[in-house]
Amino acid sequence: MRCLVRFPLLPLRRAHRIGRQPQPAPREPAINASVVERSIVGLAIYFALAAVPVTSGFSPATAAETQCPSEDNPAPCQADEDRIALYVQGRNAYDNARTSGDFSDALALSRQLAAQGDRNGERLLKMVYLQLGWGAHRDYVQAYGWLSEGIAGGADYLVRWRQILAEKMTADDLSQAKKLAGN
């Protein structure tokens, strides 16, 4: 391969023959004075604002004020609290199911949350489906049926997980699960 750019070698050879060492580029000052001045001024403003108490009527909002705008209609706040409590129950059921092998409670709670449009519930439902596909549920036939219900509900990503589960099942269990799922 041929180099298209040529560099003159003569000045380098001449410097070598004469015995001169190449001179380093002149150094710039390590710290620019204007940068230091700006940072000192910035710190002074920061500490001045932090030290002055704000007395103009601002007060931190309580949790009830941020979530519940009016006392007349507490339904939105209760619905949010119910969804959070339901998610906590579902997450605890999921954690317990990972050790016990029974995902029925976690699946029911996560489906209920997902039906309400809760994003955490949808994530929890995907986590449960993932465990079912890995074969973590103690009853493969039931897990196959649940994955088939999810596929029928529009979750196309579960097809691969159902195939992975089917590879772990015996032929009798697979035929029974297909009958249960209606396949």
Close Cβ partners of 177 (under 8 Å, ≥ 6 residues apart): 140, 141, 144, 145, 148, 166, 169
Q: Tell me the pLDDT tens digit for each residue of 83-100.
A: 889 999 999 999 999 999
Instruction: State what percent of residues in the chain have pLDDT above 70.
Output: 56
Query: Taking residues 99-105, what's their average pLDDT?
Result: 92
The answer to pTM > 0.85 is: no
Give yes or no for a contact between 183 and 144, defined as CB atoms under 8 angstroms apart. Answer: no
| 159 pLDDT higher than 80 | yes
Q: How confident is the model at residue 5 (pLDDT cuts 50, 70, 90)?
A: low
| 161 pLDDT higher than 80 | yes
Q: Following CA atoms 136, 118, 145, 165 in sequence, which dihedral angle do they give, to the nearest 10 degrees?
A: -40
Q: Is the dihedral of CA 128, 129, 131, 137 positive or negative?
A: positive
Q: Tell me the pLDDT tens digit for each residue of 39-82.
A: 676 666 665 556 555 444 444 444 444 455 555 555 555 666 78
What pLDDT is attached to residue 22? 60
From the list 130, 132, 121, the residue with the least C-alpha distance to 86 is 121
From the list 118, 117, 104, the residue with the least C-alpha distance to 149 is 104
What pLDDT is attached to residue 50? 60
